[in-house]
Amino acid sequence: MTDSSRLWLQRAILLVAILAAWEACARLVSDRWISSPVAIAERLAQWMAGDLWYHMMITGTEIGAGLAIGIPLGVLTGMLLGRSKRMAAVFRPFIVLMNSLPIVALTPLLIMWFGLGMQPKIVLVAFVSFLLMFFNSFSGARAVDEELMDTLALMGASAKERFVKVVVPSCLTWTIAGLKNALPYALIAAVIGEMMLSRNGLGHLITRSAQQFDMTGIYTALFVLMVVGGLINEGTTQLENRLLRWRHLETRGR
Amino acid sequence: MSHLQLIRPEPATGATPARRRKISLDKVAVDFTTRGKTFRAVDDVTIEVPEMQFLALVGPSGCGKSTVLNMVAGLLAPSEGSVTYDGAPVEAANTRVGYMTQKDTLLPWRSVADNIGIAFELRCRKANAAERRERVAEMIDLVGLKGFERHFPAELSGGMRKRAALARMLIYEPETLLLDEPFAALDAQLRILMQQELLRLVERRQMTVILVTHDLEEAVLMADRVMVFTSGPGRIRTERDIPFERPRNAMELRFRPEFSAIHEELWSELKDEFAASVERERRAQ
Residue B181: strand, helix, or coil: coil
Q: How far apart are CA B56 and CA B68, in angstroms?
A: 12
Question: Helix A52-83 crosses helix A202-211 at what angle (to 10 degrees)?
Answer: 130
B176, with CB counted inside 10 A (0-12, 13-18, 19+), is buried
Q: What is the block-wise mean pLDDT of chain A (254 residues), using blocks of 10 residues? A: 89 96 93 92 95 95 96 93 88 84 86 89 93 91 92 92 93 89 92 89 93 94 95 90 79 55
Choose among A154, A169, A249: nearest Cβ to B94. Answer: A154
- Distance from C-alpha of B145 to C-alpha of B114, rounded to nearest angstrom: 13
| DSSP notation for B231-271 | SSSB-EEEEEE----SS--HHHHTTSHHHHHHHHHHHHHHH
Question: Does the model's ipTM exceed the 0.90 cut?
Answer: no
User: In chain A, which among 141-160 make CB contacts under 8 A with chain B?
Assistant: 145, 147-148, 150-158
- pLDDT-based confidence at residue B15 (cuts at 50, 70, 90): very low
Helices (H) and strands (E) counted in chain B, each on its own, are: 8, 10
Mean pLDDT of B274-278: 81
Nearest chain B alpha carbon to A151: B105
- Give the count of alpha carbons within 13 A of B57, CB side only: 30
Closest-CA residue of A relative to B165 is: A151
**Contact present, B191 and B183 (Cβ < 8 Å):** yes
Measured distance CA(A236)–CA(A169) in Å, rounded? 17
Q: What is the mean pLDDT of residues B9-18?
A: 48
Burial class (CB within 10 angstroms; exposed 0-12, middle 13-18, buried 19+) of B174: buried
Residue B81 has pLDDT above 90, yes or no: yes
Position B24 pLDDT exceeds 60 = yes
Could A154 and B98 be called an inter-chain contact, meaning their C-beta atoms sit closer than 8 Å? yes
Q: Chain A residues with CB inside 8 Å of B124's CB?
A: 156-158
Q: Which of B66, B101, B107 to mutate to test the interface with A (most CBs of A within 10 A)?
A: B107
Q: Determine contact, residues B158/B165, Cβ cutoff 8 Å.
A: no
Residue to test with chain A: of B109, B124, B160, B172, most A Cβ within 10 A:
B109
Q: Test B107 with A166 for CB contact under 8 angstroms.
A: yes
Q: Is B206 left (phi over 0), alpha (psi -120 to 50) or beta?
A: left
Compute the distance between CA of residue B137 and CA of residue B120 in angstroms, rounded to an integer.
13
Is the minimum CB–CB distance between A64 and chain B shorter than 8 Å? no
Q: In B148-254, where does DSSP find H-type helix?
A: 158-170, 188-205, 216-222, 250-253
Which segment of A106-110, A237-241, B250-254, B275-279 scores lowest on mean pLDDT?
B275-279
Burial of A167 (0-12, 13-18, 19+ CB in 10 A): buried
SS3 content of chain B, % helix, strand, coil (to 5): 40, 25, 35
Q: Do B107 and A148 touch (CB under 8 A)?
A: yes
Q: Give yes or no for a contact between B156 and A186, defined as CB atoms under 8 angstroms apart.
A: no
Q: Are B95 and A166 an interchain contact pair (Cβ–Cβ within 8 Å)?
A: no
Q: What is the CATH number of domain B2-96+210-284?
A: 3.40.50.300
In angstroms, rounded to a whole number, what is the distance separating the alpha carbons of residues A68 and A167? Answer: 22
Q: What are B41-44's contacts with CB under 8 Å, separation 24+?
A: B41/B67, B41/B232, B41/B233, B41/B234, B42/B67, B42/B68, B42/B78, B42/B233, B42/B234, B42/B235, B43/B233, B43/B234, B43/B235, B44/B235
- Dihedral through CA A18, CA A24, CA A30, CA A35, nearest 10? 50
By the 8 A CB rule, do A238 and A179 touch?
Answer: no
pLDDT at A243 (0 to 100): 83
pLDDT digit string, tens, across residues B97-134: 999 988 889 999 999 999 999 989 988 888 888 888 99
Nearest to A249 among B103, B121, B152 (CB): B152
Q: Taking CB atoms and an 8 Å limit, are A166 and B99 in contact across chains?
A: no
Amino acid sitting at position A242: R
Indicate yes or no: CB of B101 within 8 angstroms of CB of A147. Answer: yes
Mean pLDDT for B248-265 is 90
- Partner-chain residue, chosen from A148, A156, A165, that has the shortest CB–CB distance to B95: A156
